[in-house]
Structure 1
């Protein structure tokens, strides 16, 4: 497990209780400013930062004068519609003081379950980070119904970490780690500093899904840890209510770290390699050499397209002799891939009627 200071890309999950005062329904501006100070400092050393932030419903509830009792789905969606504007503005204002730009990204469970949407989300996050923005990700509560909801931001944050290829996920929580029991009820409960494997015994210690102040309690945090670590991403649970919580974590604040099972880049490659291909792309000798050197696959090097596949589907890549080089996730469906084979980038739009989506298969989406 690498130190936080060694991470190349981190995802930080922020709960509503950290951002919004429960009594007044107002934004905790001082806490947000201190968090953003941390983000700016981490960004300055070359680490990408993605924030997964709750708070839109809590802010919207106060603005609309809705009760503090359980809201109906329609009331929650209305509150989110109002609160999302306030939340995005608050992040943008705080980040702009450091010369940084906030980018709002709203997702639903379908965006990770559907391969095409997954690729869209990954490409968008990658482009935002490349352009220097700080993505602020939240569940799209204004449209999400129960069957397409994550339901909690712990698991959503883990999926965002997997999608973005992060090497660390930080859950800022109302507790300072994972305990052997509920420390509020059990004075003998002890905190784990490091958990290298989520065993049935560890799962039994998590208690019921509704335990703790957060919506999902420790159950959902363990589910998040399982998702993140399986994809090669370390995950930490730490107390988030203190000012500058990321600085505190770096300085040794109490936390529980779940250690990754391998490297996120290699884990993604293994995931792609294990998929059943739905078609085949044949490439010329020049493209084959370029691919084996780590390049993306451009349409110019394609000589043949077979199979029935959609955008985001896995396809084999073979050389001119028919030997399989590997496989990857295509950014074009079979029809369009056949239309643009052999074309240079500037010739793609006239052929398809829409701008090129870059390479046919990006190098990050290939396994050889």
Structure 2
């Protein structure tokens, strides 16, 4: 009897289907070559308040040579948590059209946990850490498969980069991540970046991928950042309310007075509040940000006349100074007096005479927080002494110190400040 005549016995566990059947298994769609590189039409019209805006910051986004684009979970999946090939294709089409202009694109993609829900039989987003990480482990594979399939229509490969807070907080690892992203771009590969949810802990996360996108924008020296979600732009309250006012331009914090922003939805973690916070983080570092819905991605990447635009701070922080302020892990705290805070505002080094208290156990060359007399965190810097040595230097002038201790506590070149907090920190003693 030939082997071909032997039929599998369905009752044999070796041949049986898995107990969960095939309904939950994700099957990537076919790769159908794309023939056109066009921006998808937006859902809004010139009559809608979110469309038809012009500003210098929008022109900068339109002409940017390197753009970070963040896509939220709700933009990549359907209501049940399935990966949506159609939605991913819409996004990839717009990204390809922008890249056809010569723009480098870096994608920050949410969706790993949402994509892993159905294969694990979950009806709603998990809340406990272990199940979140299990869903991310299953979903990250599916998400990458769909991104790879969609960009394969244009003959483009993708590269997946998973980051943690520890990667960003450690300068060497941050630089290595930067080099990896740069090399992927040089090789014609689209970086698809996400937080590594499978290994992060509840206390050590970026919080949401909007913040991750802002940090990646600085890490990669991007010229612009586009944050996409399920809302066409920023309103001063829930846009469903009849008297909600659309905010087209955010030049500074004053434009946000009275704005009420909500939390995340069922499939995501980053609500409008998180997006505004991330947009301000990027813009304060000198990067213009456009906030709109994924359905309007074509208009956003084409002329940037849609959504809410956050204007960049004119004096962009260097990558190092931004890293110190917003990403680096602090090893301790230096409390300073008003005179030292005033000196820092005028771009001077921090000297021992201005230090009033040292908190923590740290070594030299580590990053520490600097707190003014009003209790405000006003900056961060790379300290020149360990904490034990500094305890004996508190309040002493340079002339009173031995030769080995006459360097600044934090040299101005290794010091970064929150300019908007300095005056508050020493206002009572100016």
Q: Tell me the TM-score normalised to structure 1 length.
A: 0.68
1:191 pairs with 2:243: no
Deviation of 1:98 (Å): 1.0
Distance 1:147 1:8 in 2: 35
Q: Name the structure 2 match of 1:46.
A: 102
Deviation of 1:87 (Å): 0.8
Note the alpha carbon deviations across 1:263-291, whole angstroms, 9 max, x for none: 65x6437659999xxxxxxxxxxxxxxxx
**1:63-102 maps to which residues of 2 (within 5 A)?**
63-68=119-124, 70-102=126-158
Q: Pick one of 203, 210, 217 that aligns with 2:271.
A: 217
Deviation of 1:67 (Å): 2.8
CA distance change for structure 1 residues 35 and 216 in 2, over 3 Å: closer, same or farther?
A: closer
Distance 1:172 1:273 in 2: 27
Distance 1:235 1:75 in 2: 33
Give the 3-state SS of the residue equivalent to 1:188 in structure 2: coil
Preserved CA contact (<8 Å) 1:314 1:327 = no
Q: Name the structure 2 match of 1:149.
A: 205
Larger radius of gyration: 2
Give the 3-state SS of the residue equivalent to 2:277 in structure 1: helix
Q: Name the structure 2 match of 1:238.
A: 292
Preserved CA contact (<8 Å) 2:289 2:309 = yes
Preserved CA contact (<8 Å) 2:228 2:292 = yes
Q: Name the structure 2 match of 1:166.
A: 222
Preserved CA contact (<8 Å) 2:70 2:210 = yes
Distance 1:100 1:175 in 2: 29
Q: Name the structure 1 match of 2:235.
A: 179
**1:16-31 maps to which residues of 2 (within 5 A)?**
16-23=73-80, 25-31=81-87
Note the alpha carbon deviations across 1:26-78, whole angstroms, 9 max, x for none: 22211211211121222222211011101111111111112315432111111
Distance 1:204 1:10 in 2: 30
Q: Pick one of 309, 316, 321 that aligns with 1:257.
A: 309
The Cα RMSD (Å) is 3.1
1:33 pairs with 2:89: yes
Deviation of 1:93 (Å): 1.4
Preserved CA contact (<8 Å) 1:81 1:142 = yes
Note the alpha carbon deviations across 1:207-257, whole angstroms, 9 max, x for none: 354589852322211211121012211111111135xx2345525663000
1:268 pairs with 2:268: no
Structure 1 stretches lacking a partner, 5+ long: 276-307, 316-325, 329-368
Distance 1:273 1:151 in 2: 18
Preserved CA contact (<8 Å) 2:114 2:267 = no
Distance 2:318 2:224 in 1: 14
Give the 3-state SS of the residue equivalent to 2:119 in structure 1: helix
Q: How many residues align?
A: 280
**1:306-325 maps to which residues of 2 (within 5 A)?**
none
Preserved CA contact (<8 Å) 1:118 1:163 = yes
Deviation of 1:89 (Å): 1.2
Instruction: Flag the structure with higher helix content.
Output: 1
Distance 1:89 1:210 in 2: 26
1:13 pairs with 2:70: yes
Deviation of 1:116 (Å): 1.8
Preserved CA contact (<8 Å) 1:232 1:267 = no
Deviation of 1:108 (Å): 1.2
Give the 3-state SS of the residue equivalent to 2:245 in structure 1: coil
Deviation of 1:8 (Å): 1.0
Distance 1:223 1:230 in 2: 10
Preserved CA contact (<8 Å) 1:106 1:137 = yes
Distance 2:322 2:139 in 1: 37
Distance 2:69 2:192 in 1: 10
